[in-house]
Amino acid sequence: MELINSARPSPVQPDPEQPLATIVESMIAHELSSVPVLQNTKIVGILHLAAAQKWIQQAKNLQHRPLVKDAMQANIIIYREGTVLDAALMENNSWFPAEDAQGNFAGIIMTKALVIYLNKKLDTQSQRNQAVLENLPNGILAINVEGKIEIVNKAACRLLDVDKGIIGKSISEIVPESNLLDIIESGLTQYGHKIELNGHTLITNRSPIICDNNISGAIAVFQDITDLENISHQLASVKQLNLDLDAIIESSYDGIAISDHEGRGIRINQAHARLTGLDASHFIGQHIDDLFEKGIFQYESITIKALRERRTITSVQKICTTGKQVLVTSNPIFDIEGNVSRVVSNVRDISELHKLNEELRESKLLATRYETELSQLMLARLKKDKIIVESPGMMKLFNLAIRTARTDSTVLLLGESGVGKEVLSRVIHNTSNRAISGSFIQINCGAIPENLLESELFGYEAGAFTGANPHGKPGMFELANLGTLLLDEIGDLSANLQVKLLRVLQEHEVYRLGGTKPIKLDVRIISATNRNIWERVQEGAFREDLFYRLNVLPIEIPPLRERKEDILPLIMHFIHLYNEKYGVEKRLDPKAIPILEAYSWPGNVRELQNVLERLLVITEEELVQPLQVQIQLAKFKTKFNSPITVNEIIPIQQAKEMLEKELIIMAFDCYPSIRKAAEVLGLDHSNVMRKAIKYGIKK
């Protein structure tokens, strides 16, 4: 319609009956080579100037006066909205007459304007076609006969994970599995080919492009059916869920009845029919309260109560026709709007419940008996291993240790020096399966210099360092393979060794010093420390990730002063031990027992053992008196507070060595690790070790 509106009138619009000569004069005056011929408002032809002049010349010879209709061209092309004009016609005509929708002459349209209009319309249509192509949900890709990509839309780019830059490239490089070249070769269309590409499930239809009966390329249409596949899987899952739900309902030992929001039965399981003695016909599609009104139920239906009160109701119901009594729990189910949509009722036979209660009571009695027997077995095992435990806290702790032995998790033993961390670690090992397959290996991380500790832990290959064993040496980890490794004083481990220990715990393998091949390990790691290792973590002295690796099963052993019940059994044990060791028959005066029990024992069990051994050795009488006990405890208590005294003149160097020896002994007694003792003395670890060896001091 836009082009028709742009049509312009002709300055000369003759009627077919007008004299031809008059019109020719007007055409010459207006410099027109052709004009439309109108009859009323309808166009009936076109008058060309050359043809008109020829007619006039012929008419002169014949003495004839021609009219317009004699010379006009009646067979003409008229442009109407939507007319498709041949390109040749447009080249041979400078203008075309145009009609409106009613068939009346609308004016003339210049061929140039028509070409511009048609090109614009063609561009618009092309853009529209391109927009349609780009917005199709299906991917479209077309190639020419050479296999070069000519068309690819946005959906195809997304599905193939490419961009528009692939246009002009070979299809074999971009999507080799497309098989479009085979389509060109065969000329056959293929439907419904399924492929998996870039995480998508695609269905492709492929066909040749035929122009003038020749194959000029091939086109593929991709449809992403991933969502459809997912829906299909979900549908299968829902079907399986329904089957599972049916199986669960039917396999329930309790009776189950499901009713709708009006109290009508939807389904029951077989157990419900067995427990009530009523088959499905009494429930399915029936209002549940009809059973009460018909006298089948003695009481109002529990389902109706749950519907009415909108809460779970539990009550006893009697089936009058069968004489059975059942316990019914009806639970309302609410929809998203808060309305009751279903009521699920569980039915249990009361007589069966009584039977189950009796069985439960017997099971509890049996469990109590087993627990008692287990405790007795545990005590017997501890006594066999000569481990003295009497206090409830320690009994509970050793019970935990024995349970821990069933797993391979790492254990962190915490507690003051001398509380028995090594003893407990041996209990864990000896009561585990690892006692059969491997050994219990222990190493004190604070008693060995760092450079030696690394080789002790990880071992070394032949020639790894100067002075190394020419055949190499396995480390503690290897020796403990299939067994248990106790890392004592783990809190004193250097930062470098912390990193290496963490790797061993993570990878379950170790590299010897100088080695290149990993050695696989299966070792139970138990760590022990008398330090607050979490404070060490917060101070940045201990790796937090290593702490969490070691602290899977923490066990804290209480000091001896917090478990007084263990002191007397330990006293009796150590007296018996040293009597046998030294071949004596010494006893402790009963009055000395309260003195020992009242003492705080900062050195815990190790200190108690040391004091008793000293008493039995230095006491000449068979009976150790309370005063002797008090003297020994007082000496120990004031040992480190005594001032330095000089009784005679001796060489300064000798005095220095004596004082040095005493200081090292005091430091070793006061601090659990050599590293800490060295720190307090202001010496490095190796220096303290050399001096201790020099003076014959053992830690």
> Do 117 and 3 contact (CB within 8 A), yes or no?
yes
In CATH terms, are 136-228 and 385-558 the same topology?
A: no
> Do 369 and 393 contact (CB within 8 A), yes or no?
no
pLDDT of res. 261: 85
Provide the token pair at 163: 């961009």
Whether pLDDT at 241 is above 90: no
SS3 437: helix
CATH classification number, 2-119, choose in 1.10.1840.10, 3.40.50.620, 3.10.580.10, 3.30.160.40: 3.10.580.10
Confidence of residue 429 (pLDDT cuts 50, 70, 90): very high
pLDDT of res. 558: 92
Mean pLDDT of 654-679: 78
Provide the token pair at 287: 């209002």
Task: Convert 282-309 into a string of H (helix), E (strand) and C (coil).
Answer: HCECCECCHHHHCCCECCCCHHHHHHHH
SS3 453: helix
Whether pLDDT at 522 is above 90: yes
Question: Amino acid identity of 425?
Answer: S
Question: Amino acid identity of 17?
Answer: E
pLDDT of res. 501: 92
From 558, 540, 551, select the one nearest 487 (Cα to Cα): 551
From 68, 61, 58, select the one nearest 35 (Cα to Cα): 68
pTM value surpassing 0.75: no
CATH architecture of 561-641: Orthogonal Bundle (1.10)
- pLDDT: is 153 or 367 the higher one? 153
Could you tell me which CATH class the domain 385-558 is placed in? alpha beta
Mean pLDDT of 168-183: 82
Mean pLDDT of 607-616: 91
pLDDT of res. 643: 45
How far is 483 from 553, CA to CA, in rounded Å? Answer: 18
> Do 324 and 239 contact (CB within 8 A), yes or no?
no
| Mean of all residue pLDDT scores within the chain | 83
Query: What is the radius of gyration, based on Cα positions, of the chain?
Result: 53
SS3 449: coil
CATH classification number, 136-228, choose in 3.30.450.20, 2.40.40.20, 1.10.240.10, 3.40.640.10: 3.30.450.20
How far is 88 from 180, CA to CA, in rounded Å? Answer: 38
The CA distances from residue 149 to 195, 208, 219, 536, in Å, are 20, 14, 10, 67
> Do 53 and 88 contact (CB within 8 A), yes or no?
no
Q: Which residues pair with 412 in a beta bridge?
A: 527, 554
Whether pLDDT at 401 is above 80: yes
Residues 633-664: tens digit of each pLDDT: 876 654 444 445 555 677 888 778 888 888 88
How far is 488 from 475, CA to CA, in rounded Å? Answer: 16
Provide the token pair at 668: 């070793």
Question: Amino acid identity of 664?
Answer: I
What is the Cβ-side half-sphere exposure of residue 638, based on CA atoms within 13 angstroms? 8
In the block, tokens 């836009």 appear at 2
Interstrand relation of 553-556 and 509-510 (parallel, antiparallel or unpaired): unpaired
pLDDT of res. 642: 44
From 616, 441, 446, select the one nearest 530 (Cα to Cα): 446
User: Taking CA 200 as the corner, what is the angle to CA 196 and CA 201, rounded to the nearest 5 degrees?
Assistant: 55
How far is 618 from 252, CA to CA, in rounded Å? Answer: 76
Residues in Cβ contact with 134 at an 8 Å cutoff, skipping those fewer than 6 apart: 153, 154
The CA distances from residue 309 to 300, 312, 331, 343, 367, in Å, are 13, 8, 11, 12, 42
- pLDDT: is 63 or 499 the higher one? 499
The CA distances from residue 656 to 467, 651, 661, 666, 699, in Å, are 33, 9, 8, 15, 21
> Do 421 and 413 contact (CB within 8 A), yes or no?
yes
Confidence of residue 484 (pLDDT cuts 50, 70, 90): very high
- pLDDT: is 678 or 482 the higher one? 482
Confidence of residue 361 (pLDDT cuts 50, 70, 90): confident
Residues 54-86: tens digit of each pLDDT: 888 887 766 678 888 888 988 888 877 666 555
From 94, 24, 15, 31, select the one nearest 52 (Cα to Cα): 24
Element housing 12 (H / E): none
Whether pLDDT at 180 is above 90: no
Residues in Cβ contact with 140 at an 8 Å cutoff, skipping those fewer than 6 apart: 133, 151, 152, 153, 155, 156, 219, 220, 221, 222
Residue-wise DSSP of 374-409: HHHHHHHHHHHTT----SHHHHHHHHHHHHHTTS--
- pLDDT: is 253 or 216 the higher one? 216
Domain range summary for the chain, segments of one domain joined by +: 2-119, 136-228, 385-558, 561-641, 652-695
What is the Cβ-side half-sphere exposure of residue 689, based on CA atoms within 13 angstroms? 12
SS3 441: strand
Going 311 to 314 to 316 to 317, the CA torsion angle's sign is: positive
Instruction: Count CB neighbours of 365 within 10 A.
Output: 10
Residues 139-160: tens digit of each pLDDT: 888 989 888 988 888 888 887 7
Element housing 313 (H / E): strand 313-319
pLDDT of res. 63: 67
> Do 399 and 379 contact (CB within 8 A), yes or no?
no
Angle between helix 685-695 and helix 674-681 axes, rounded to 10 deg = 100
Residue 521: which region, alpha, beta or left (left: phi > 0; alpha: psi -120 to 50)?
A: beta
Instruction: Count CB neighbours of 208 within 10 A.
Output: 19
How far is 615 from 152, CA to CA, in rounded Å? Answer: 99
In the block, tokens 């479209």 appear at 140
Residues in Cβ contact with 409 at an 8 Å cutoff, skipping those fewer than 6 apart: 552, 553
The CA distances from residue 105 to 10, 26, 116, 254, in Å, are 11, 20, 22, 93
Q: Which of 105-119, 370-384, 501-515 has the lowest mean pLDDT?
A: 370-384
Whether pLDDT at 195 is above 60: yes
Whether pLDDT at 455 is above 80: yes
Confidence of residue 674 (pLDDT cuts 50, 70, 90): confident
- pLDDT: is 417 or 646 the higher one? 417
Burial group, residue 622, by CB count within 10 angstroms (0-12, 13-18, 19+) = exposed
Residues in Cβ contact with 137 at an 8 Å cutoff, skipping those fewer than 6 apart: 155, 223, 224
Provide the token pair at 200: 């998508």
Whether pLDDT at 554 is above 90: yes
